[in-house]
Chains A and B, each alone.
Chain A
Amino acid sequence: MSIAIKQLHPHFVAEISGLDLRQPLTPEKATALDRALDRFGVLVFHGQDITDEQQLTFTRNLGAIELAIGGNVTKPEERRLSVQIGDVSNLDQHGKVLAKDDRRRMFNLGNRLWHSDSSYRSTPAKCSLLSCRSKPAAGGNTEFAFMPAAYDALDAETKAEIEDLVTEHSLIYSRGQLGFSQFTPEELKTFTPVRQALVRANDFTGRKSIYLSAHIGTIVSWHMPEARDFIRELTEHATQPEFVHAHEWAVGDLVIWDNRQCLHRVRPFKDTDEPRDMRRTTVAGIGPTTPLAAEAA
C-alpha cells in the first residue's frame, strides 16, 4: 500500500494515509516521511492505536530518541511514563489530574506559549511525535505555525537584520514570562541558557525559517528589553492566522511536527477537571544550530 498525502493548509500540514504505524517501515517509506516533514512541517495520521513501545519503534525511523529529562520540574519518582516518552498529559504518576495549584501544572502552563520543543537544549529536537490517548470534551487543540512562510513574508530589511543573530534560550525565560520563577539551585543549573541561530535553513528544501520560541530570553550582545521586544514582534508576525493551523485531536491521532521549522502551542481546556493523555516521543537533532552554542551563555 502506498502513502497518500493531502495538504491541509495553504502553506503546510499534510494528512498522511495508507500507513499503519505499528508495522515496520521500509527505508523508502521512512525517507518519504522525512521528505514530507521537510516540505510540510506537520504530518497528521489518524486511527493509530499504538502502544508506547510501538510509538518508540516508529519514532526511531526518523532518528535517535531524545530523552525526556531536563525538560520540566517533574522529579524521577513522579514520572508516569518511561524517560523515553515526554509526558504531555495533565496527570500525575498515579494517573490523577494535577491539582490547580500543583507546581508541575504551573510549570506546564508554559506549553500554552508559542515554542519549539527543546530549543533550550544545545542540540535541540528535530521533530516531535504526539499520540492522543485520551482527550478533553472541549479545547486542548494544538496549534502550529509554519516558519518558512513567516520568514518569506518578512521585509528585506528584517531578513538582513536577523540573518546572523544568535539567541539565548532557557526554560527559565519561558516560565519567567508567566511569573514562574521559583527554581531550585539544581533546576537553575539544568536550565542554564543555551545559544541558537535565529535563522535556520532546511537542508532539503533550502527554505529558511525564523527559529523562534518562548524559551528565548535575549539576543547575544543586545540589551535584554530591546531583544525581548524584537523577538515579541517577530513572534507576533510569525503567528498571524495566515501561518497557523489548529489541530483538533481525536483519540488515535498521531501528529509529527518539525521543530526546526514550526512553532506550536496547546490551547486551554478544563485541565483541572478532565484528563488529556498525550504522549510525546522526540527525535534528537544532529547538532547545535550555531558555532557559538559552546560558549557560555
Chain B
Amino acid sequence: MTISIKQLHEHFVGEVSGIDLRDPLTPDQTREIQEGMDQYGVLVFHDQDLTDDQQVAYTKNFGELELAVGSNLLKANERRLRLEMADVSNLDQNGVVLTRDDRRRMFNLGNRLWHSDSSFRITPSKFSLLSCRSEPPKGGDTEFAFMPAAYDGLDAETKAEIEGLVTEHSLIYSRGKLGFEEFSAKEMKTFAPVRHSLVRTNDFTGRKSVYLSAHIGTIVGWHMPEARDFVRELVEQATQRKFVHAHKWELGDLVMWDNRQCMHRVRPFKDIGQVRDMRRTTVAGVGPTVEQTSERAA
C-alpha cells in the first residue's frame, strides 16, 4: 500500500494516510516520509495505537535516537518513562499530575514559548515524534510555525543582515524569560549555552529557514539587549498567523515535525486538574550547525 499525503495548511503540514506505524517500513515508505518531512515540515498520522517500543522502532527509521537527558530538571529517580522517550506529560514518576508549585512544572511552562526542540544542544535534533496517549478535554493544542515561509517573507535587507549570524542557545535563557532562575551548579553546567547558525538550509528542498527558538539568549558579537530585541522581532515575524498551524490532538495521533525548519509550542490547558500524556521520541541531528567555542567544542 502506498502512502498519501494531504496538505493541511497553505505553506506546510501534511496529513498522512495509508500506513500503520506498528509495521516495519519498506525503504520506499521511509523515503516518502523523509521527503514529506523535507517538504511539509510537519506530518500528521491518525489512529496510531502505539506502544513505546513501537514508537522507538518507527523513529529509528529516520536516524539515531536522541536521548532525553540534559534537557530538563528530572532527576534519574523521577523518570516515568525510559531514556529513549521524552516525557512531555504533566505527570510525575507515579503517574500523578504535578502540583501547581512543582519546580518541574514551572520549568516545563517554557514549552509554551515558541521553540525548536534541543536547539540548546551542540548537535540539535532533526525530528521530534509526539504520540498522544491521553489528552485534556480542552486546550493543549500544539502550534507549528514554518520557517522556510517565514524566511521567504523577510525583506532583502533583513535576509542579508541575518546571513552568517550565530546565536547562543540555552535552557537558562528560555526559562529566564519566565523568571525561572533557580538552577543548581550542576544544571548551570549542563545548560551552558551552545552556538547555532541563525540561517539553515534544507538539503533536499534547498529552502532556507530562520533557525529561531526561545532558547536564544544573544547573538555572537552583539550586545544582549539589541540581540534580544532583534530576535524577538524575528520571532514575531515568523509566528504570524499566516505561518502557523494548530494541531488539535486526538488519542492515537502521532505528529512528527522537523526541528530544523519548524518552531512549535504547546497551548495552555488546565494542567493542574487534567492529564495530558504525550510521549516524544527524537531523532538526533547529524552534527553541529556551526563551530563551537573552545570550551564547548563538540
* A residues at B contact (CB < 8 Å): 100-101, 106-107, 109-110, 112-113, 175, 177-180, 217-218, 223-229, 232-233, 268
Contacts and interface: CB of A to CB of B under 8 A. Distances in A.
B80 interface: no
Given A178-B224, A179-B224, A233-B112, 4 more contacts: A100-B226, A106-B226, A177-B177, A233-B268
Contact of B229 (A100, A178, A228, A229): A178
A177 B268 CA distance: 21
A175 B233 CA distance: 16
Interface in B143-182: 175, 177-180
A224 B178 contact: yes
Contacts of B180: 224-225
Interface residues of B, number: 25
Interface string B115-148: 0000000000000000000000000000000000
Chain B interface SS verdict (over half):
helix
A223 B103 CA distance: 10
A224 B225 contact: no
B48 to A, nearest CB: 31
A228 B179 CA distance: 7
B112 A229 contact: yes
* 10 tightest Cβ-Cβ pairs between the two chains A and B: A224-B179, A179-B224, A225-B178, A178-B225, A225-B106, A106-B225, A178-B228, A228-B178, A180-B225, A225-B180
Nearest to B240: A241
B220 to A, nearest CB: 14
Contacts of A180: 224-225
A45 B109 CA distance: 44
Contacts of B109: 225-226, 229
Contacts of B229: 109, 112, 178, 268
Given A179-B218, A226-B106, A218 B225 contact: no
B244 to A, nearest CB: 12
A179 B178 contact: no
A217 B178 CA distance: 9
Interface in B189-233: 217-218, 223-229, 232-233
A249 B228 CA distance: 26
B168 to A, nearest CB: 11
Contacts of A178: 224-225, 228-229
A255 B108 CA distance: 42
A101 B178 contact: no
A159 to B, nearest CB: 16
A89 to B, nearest CB: 18
Contacts of A106: 223, 225-226
B101 interface: yes
Contact of B217 (A109, A110, A179): A179
A228 B181 CA distance: 13
Contacts of A179: 217-218, 224-225, 227-228
A232 B177 CA distance: 10
A178 B225 CA distance: 5
Nearest to B217: A179
A141 to B, nearest CB: 13
Residue among A100, A223, A225 with the highest chain B CB neighbour number at 10 A:
A225
B228 A229 contact: no
Contacts of B226: 100, 106, 109
A79 B284 CA distance: 54
Nearest to A106: B225
Residue among B178, B224, B225, B233 with the highest chain A CB neighbour number at 10 A:
B225
23 contacts: A100-B226, A106-B223, A106-B225, A106-B226, A109-B226, A110-B225, A112-B233, A113-B232, A175-B225, A179-B218, A179-B224, A179-B225, A180-B224, A223-B101, A225-B106, A225-B179, A225-B180, A226-B109, A228-B179, A229-B109, A229-B178, A268-B229, A268-B233
A80 to B, nearest CB: 21
A63 B114 CA distance: 42
A101 to B, nearest CB: 6
A112 B227 CA distance: 13
Contact of B225 (A109, A227, A268): A109
A218 B233 contact: no
A107 B101 CA distance: 33
Contact of A218 (B179, B218, B227, B228): B179
A46 to B, nearest CB: 28
Contacts of A107: 225
A53 B232 CA distance: 38
Contacts of A233: 112, 268
Contacts of B228: 177-179
Residue among B113, B177, B227, B268 with the highest chain A CB neighbour number at 10 A:
B177
